[in-house]
């Protein structure tokens, strides 16, 4: 029996080895930019063509960093909230030389839903061309632009469509609030928020928080029409929060907070079906309700050439999924540890760099985080179509994989620090210090399964690698 089990595990490993062919071997910390509370960094966006990073700094406004030297970011310009109708900056979208900002506090109803357009032709001297705000309060969680129109996810105010053909004169076009009676006939309206969004041609895919996924035809900008809807049936008796979405052809990748990531077939928007579900935190079980969840998936980035999805996951920080088989999305690697009590809200991925935005959450709702700021993390990309200048060799070599007793670890860049091995729940199983370029760890006592090594050097740099114990 033991032989059969080991043979099956080896088969599974060899199968996964192929499906993980584009999987990052490690995510390596590069630098951080801390923010002093109450300052926050909700999300960030690397310029599409230039070496600049734009940061949604909530009530700090828009922050612009020069990344000419990618390892030494320089804050070169700030557009404060008093230039933005005194509204928080929550989300960013770039089109050409313009940056569109979603404005208004999304954590309470203290601010109007708003939007601003910023000319970033010369990032160091960027300026606001126009601002706009809705009459009602609720803030705005996301903005997307297509052609002459901006689509604002205005939380409880639903979808707002604005004409932005004249960058100096934003014009209101229409407001659309999806049906609140789905998926429950007696909704808590405060939890129905237009938060995440994707638009393909004239079809808008809206993450409507507790209202699930909504498909809206916006061909007629004056009269949007809902043509499809979906909510994971399992959540009919549990809290739900559809947060963000990316659409690629017929598949939609959608984060559902403490329930991970769903992959949906949206080829027929009137008949949406689940293709796969990544549910690492056992969503909805007695051991994992909303507030004790080990992760909260929020913003995501699809790297299609690599068959990877990168996600900000709250106190689980960064998770990377292999979606080469959409019906079986699986963990590739991760960055951060639940035990360090820091959590992400948003992220961007540009070439071989991840820009992660952390928030300070002292009250622990829905997760606790004691640090706010930005971290840049490198990933060892092997997708030539995506990264034209791959990073140098992986600084860590671990073998044999799979292992059944001794794990050998060799370092090419790290020489001293701490090493820990954690299970897929993020719980640390083994931990020790190292002071040499080679380490041997005895994992004979560990049960068969998948583990992660976490290496932290003296400067706090971290790198994760996936290991199979057979």
pLDDT digits (tens, 9 = 90+) for 33-74: 999 988 999 999 999 999 999 999 999 999 999 999 999 999
Distance (Å, whole) CA 364 – CA 292: 10
CB 216 within 8 A of CB 223: no
Predicted confidence (pLDDT) per residue in 283-308, tens digit: 988 778 888 899 999 999 999 989 99
Least Cα distance to 22 among 326, 311, 325, 308 occurs for 308
Identical fold between 24-379 and 394-469? no
CB 342 within 8 A of CB 370: yes
Architecture of the domain made up of 394-469? Sandwich (2.60)
CA distances from 175 to 218, 225, 232, 404 (A): 11, 11, 26, 60
Confidence of residue 219 (pLDDT cuts 50, 70, 90): very high
Least Cα distance to 88 among 107, 70, 75 occurs for 107
CA angle, 312 as apex, 153 and 241 as ends, to 5°?
A: 50
Output the DSSP codes for 420-468: EEEETTS-EEEEEEE-SSEEEEE-TTSPSEEEEEEEEETT--EEEEEEE
Phi, psi of 6 (to 5 degrees): -65, -40
Architecture of the domain made up of 24-379? 7 Propeller (2.130)
Q: Where are the domains of the chain?
A: 24-379, 394-469
Predicted confidence (pLDDT) per residue in 363-383, tens digit: 888 889 999 999 999 998 777
Contacts of 174 by beta carbon, 8 Å cutoff, 6+ apart = 160, 161, 221, 222, 223, 224
CB 310 within 8 A of CB 347: yes
């Amino acid at each position: 029996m033991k032989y059969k089990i080991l043979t099956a595990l080896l088969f599974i490993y060899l199968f996964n080895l192929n499906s993980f062919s584009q999987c990052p071997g490690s995510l390596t910390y590069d630098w951080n930019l801390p923010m002093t509370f109450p300052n926050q960094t909700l999300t960030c966006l690397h310029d599409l063509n230039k070496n600049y990073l734009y940061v949604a700094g909530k009530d700090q406004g828009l922050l612009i960093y020069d990344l000419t030297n990618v390892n030494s970011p320089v804050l070169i310009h700030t557009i404060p909230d008093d230039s933005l109708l005194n509204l928080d900056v929550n989300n960013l979208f770039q089109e050409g030389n313009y940056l569109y900002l979603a404005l208004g506090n999304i954590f309470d109803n203290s601010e109007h839903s708003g939007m601003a357009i910023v000319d970033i032709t010369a990032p160091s001297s960027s300026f606001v061309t126009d601002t706009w705000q809705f009459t009602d309060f609720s803030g705005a969680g996301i903005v997307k632009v297509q052609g002459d129109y901006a689509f604002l996810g205005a939380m409880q105010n639903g979808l707002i469509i604005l004409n932005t053909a004249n960058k100096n004169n934003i014009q209101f076009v229409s407001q659309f609030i999806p049906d609140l009676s789905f998926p429950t006939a007696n909704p808590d309206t405060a939890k129905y928020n237009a938060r995440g969004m994707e638009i393909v041609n004239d079809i808008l895919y809206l993450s409507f928080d507790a209202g699930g996924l909504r498909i809206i035809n916006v061909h007629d900008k004056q009269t949007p029409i809902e043509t499809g809807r979906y909510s994971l049936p399992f959540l009919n008796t549990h809290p739900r929060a559809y947060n963000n979405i990316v659409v690629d052809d017929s598949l939609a990748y959608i984060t559902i907070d403490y329930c991970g990531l769903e992959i949906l077939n949206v080829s027929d928007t009137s008949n949406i079906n689940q293709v796969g579900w990544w549910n690492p935190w056992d969503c909805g079980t007695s051991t994992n309700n909303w507030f004790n969840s080990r992760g909260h998936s929020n913003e995501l980035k699809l790297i299609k050439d690599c068959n990877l999805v990168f996600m900000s996951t709250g106190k689980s920080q960064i998770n990377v999924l292999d979606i080469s088989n959409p019906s079986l999305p699986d963990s590739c690697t991760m960055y951060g540890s639940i035990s360090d009590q820091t959590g992400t809200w948003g992220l961007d991925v540009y070439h071989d760099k991840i820009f992660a935005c952390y928030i300070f959450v002292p009250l622990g709702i829905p997760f606790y985080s004691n640090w706010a700021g930005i971290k840049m993390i490198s990933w060892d990309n092997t997708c030539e179509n995506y990264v034209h200048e791959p990073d140098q060799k992986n600084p860590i070599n671990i073998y044999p994989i799979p292992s059944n007793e001794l794990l050998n670890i060799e370092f090419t860049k790290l020489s001293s620090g701490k090493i820990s091995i954690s299970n897929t729940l993020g719980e640390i199983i083994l931990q020790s210090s190292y002071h040499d370029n080679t380490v041997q760890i005895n994992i004979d006592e560990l049960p068969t399964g998948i583990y992660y090594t976490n290496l932290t050097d003296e400067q706090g740099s971290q790198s994760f690698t996936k290991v199979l114990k057979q």
